[in-house]
A and B are shown apart, each in its own frame.
Chain A
Amino acid sequence: MIKMENVTKVYENGAVGMRDTTLHINKGEFVFVVGSSGSGKSTFMRLLLKEVEPTSGKIIINGTDITKLKRRQIPYLRRKIGVVFQDFRLLPSKTVYENVAFAMQVIETNPKIIRRNVPQILAMVGLGKKANAYPNQLSGGEQQRVALARAIINRPPILLADEPTGNLDPETAWEIMELIQEIHRNGTTVVISTHAKDIVDKMQKRVVTINKGSVLRDIEGGGYSDEAKNVEILY
């Protein structure tokens, strides 16, 4: 589903975001990407969304080498990837319903289908009764649910979550993680970048640790805290 082959990203100011990294993520996988701030986690996410171009190497998503995509083809790549962010990024002037429907309008979906699918997805994320509320009337957890609903409304094969629980209290964070797991169970490939040690430890999924732009460690069913041990082993 996602293949990174020898990807290097050097920014214009000389900072190295990614150093000769090769990483494969299969269809239907659930992957945590962990690492300290500035480790290259966000470069990884931005490369997948083609927000930044790799300096060298190939990035293949769903069989397409995205480094070869033209600018006008980028929107069609992004329709295959649902994204959520730490800060939710909802439109404050739109209601919950409109925020989700917006993602469908943008890709010119038939209004009938919008009217059918949006309530379904809102019910799934547990916000069926808050369709007409505005984001500022919602709690952080609820806002992230709206963001998740928006990310998956167009049924993308991949869900990218950048620190999705970073702004939430532990209990709410778990609720969000459970929701993401449910999305995963429906067949979506999930990639989450996070700092949340307890969540990573507890979920026992594949954990990719990035440090200084390289994959330091890649363990199936691992935990966040394994990082320290492995660092000792490696050096």
Chain B
Amino acid sequence: MKLRTWKYFINQGISGIFKNGLMSFASTAIVSACIFIVILSLCIITNVNYIMQQIESEIGITLYLGEKPTQANVDSLITTLKNMPEVSEVTFISADEALEDAKDIYNTEFLDGLKDDNPLPRSIELKLKDIKLQKLFIKKLEQLQWEFEEQILGIKKADTPATDSANEQVIPQSQTTTAVQTSSLFTETVYANELTLGDKDYEFQGIELISHAQQLTDTLVTIDAAFKIISITLIAILSIISIGIIMNTIKLTVFVRKNEINIMKYVGATDWFIRWPFIIEGIVIGLVGAILPSIICTLGYIKIYSLFENEYILKNIAHLKPAMDIFTVIIPISLLIGMLIGAIGSISSIRKHLKV
């Protein structure tokens, strides 16, 4: 197509908008309404995700260490943890640091007295890449807890129930007093230790405690998944409805000009020559329709953001995503959606009339 032909298309497309002023206005208004809802839901979805991430990032797993492990033991444990694929972050907190933290939290000098005889345990804080993995990961950690125990106590573990005679060779005789499990129905791992091995009451000396909030994590994972499904469905439905309405509106503007299309066909216009002005018309309508809600939503969001950030309680729970971050993505998307809806609407509306 020649440049002047494109000029002609743009000219025709834009003059078409004004020739059918009322219809164009109606189409634009409908695009605006649809895009408005799309932006609104995108804002909500992004922020719910954003807030979820903040909450999730606060959720960690803390391993409290006993007195027994040496610093070398701890270092090798940290290395092991860092090499686990689920782990995103490992932080070691020494007893001194724990004390400092406690001082910060309780805001008192009273704790200074404990400096030389610090009762606080060393700990390792873990963050997971995805909290959905937590449940399985905890199982792995419990395994690790036993392995670490073996390492620091220098004892071996029995892999299978103690009734298996082969195992008795690796269990030092002196330590097997209470470790025998009589029923083969029990598949629980049995450990050779004079302190009631495999027992729930066993007190670990390496990793004393694995602390995590499974209940909260489960709830969050459920909410997160449900919300994603709901939001995706919502956006899909909205887009389909918008395209449907716009198609109908453009169909009317095309119907008004079906004579023009007809005549163009008779004088030998190619299908694309006929389509382009309508497509441009649709794109312009879609674009204009998308600009308006983009502006309104940006201004509205900035206002809500400042209200939210000034609210002390809300601010401490979570933050909204800054307007810049959100709208530099959403505005191009919504303009694109607007233009796409307009173009799709136009193409599908004139298809019928081209068959002459």
Q: Does A102 contact B (CB under 8 A)?
A: yes
Which residue of A72, A106, A108 contacts B267 across the interface (Cβ within 8 Å)? A106
Report B337 CB to chain A, min CB distance, Å: 30
Residue in A91, A150, A154 whose beta carbon sits within 8 Å of that of B260 in the complex: A91
A103 is contacted by which of B262, B267, B273 (Cβ under 8 Å)? B267
Pairs A–B under 8 Å by Cβ, sample size 22 = A51-B356, A75-B265, A75-B268, A75-B271, A75-B273, A77-B268, A78-B265, A78-B266, A78-B268, A79-B267, A79-B268, A91-B259, A91-B260, A93-B19, A102-B263, A103-B267, A103-B268, A106-B267, A106-B273, A107-B267, A107-B269, A108-B1
Q: What 0/1 readout, one digit per residue, does chain B (253-291) give for beta carbons within 8 Å of chain A? A: 000000110111111111101000000000000000000
Contact call A106/B269, Cβ cutoff below 8 A: yes
Chain B residue, CB-CB nearest to A80: B268
Residue numbers in B under 8 Å from A90 (CB-CB) = 263
Q: How far is the CA of A90 from the CA of B270 in the complex (A)?
A: 19
- Given contacts A72-B271, A108-B5, A111-B4, whether A83 and B266 have CB atoms under 8 Å apart is yes
Q: Which of B1, B8, B266, B356 contacts A105 (CB 8 A)?
A: B8
Residue numbers in A under 8 Å from B352 (CB-CB): none
CB of B259 to closest CB in A, whole Å: 7
- A150: which B residues are within 8 A, CB to CB? 267
From the candidates B2, B262, B271, name the one contacting A89 in the complex (CB within 8 A): B262
* Contact, CB under 8 Å: A89 / B356: no
Docked Cα-Cα span, A93 to B2, in Å, equals 25
Contacts of A72 in B (CB 8 A): 270-271
Task: Return A26 CB to nearest CB of chain B, in Å.
Answer: 23
Chain A residues in the interface with B (C-beta under 8 A) = 49, 51, 71-72, 75-79, 83, 89-91, 93, 102-103, 105-108, 111, 150, 154
Given the complex, which residues of A lie within 8 Å of B271, measured CB to CB?
71-72, 75
CB contacts (< 8 Å) of B262 on chain A: these are 89
- Are the C-beta atoms of B4 and A91 separated by less than 8 Å? no
Query: CA separation between A90 and B267, bound complex, in Å?
Result: 12
B266 touches A49 (CB 8 A): yes
Name 14 extra pairs, CB < 8 A, besides A78-B266, A89-B263: A51-B356, A75-B265, A75-B270, A77-B268, A79-B268, A91-B263, A93-B19, A106-B264, A106-B267, A107-B269, A108-B1, A108-B4, A111-B4, A150-B267
Query: Roughly how many angstroms separate A72 CA and B275 CA in the complex, as a whole number?
Result: 13
Given known pairs A105-B8, A106-B273, A108-B5, the reply for A89 and B259 (CB within 8 Å) is yes
Contacts of A77 in B (CB 8 A): 268
Closest to A104 in B: B267
A61 to B1, CA, bound (A): 27
With a CB–CB cut-off of 8 A, which chain B residues contact A103? 267-268
Q: 5 smallest A-B Cβ distances: which pairs?
A: A79-B268, A78-B268, A106-B269, A103-B267, A75-B268
Contact with A along B1-25 (1 / 0, CB 8 A): 1101100100000000001000000
Q: Which A residues are CB-close (under 8 A) to B269? A: 75, 106-107
Measured between alpha carbons, how far is A106 from B268 in the docked complex, in Å? 7
Of the candidates A75, A83, A93, A154, the one having the most CB atoms from chain B within 10 angstroms of its own CB is A75
Cβ–Cβ < 8 Å partners of B1 in chain A: 108
Chain B residue numbers with a CB within 8 Å of A93 are 19
Say whether, besides A89-B263, A91-B260, A107 and B268 are in contact (CB < 8 Å): yes
What is the chain A residue whose CB lies nearest that of B260? Answer: A91
**Listed residue (B5, B19, B268, B271) with the most chain A CB atoms within 10 angstroms of its CB:** B268
Please indicate the chain A residues that have their CB under 8 angstroms from the CB of B267 in the complex: 78-79, 102-103, 106-107, 150, 154
A residues near B260, Cβ cutoff 8 Å: 91
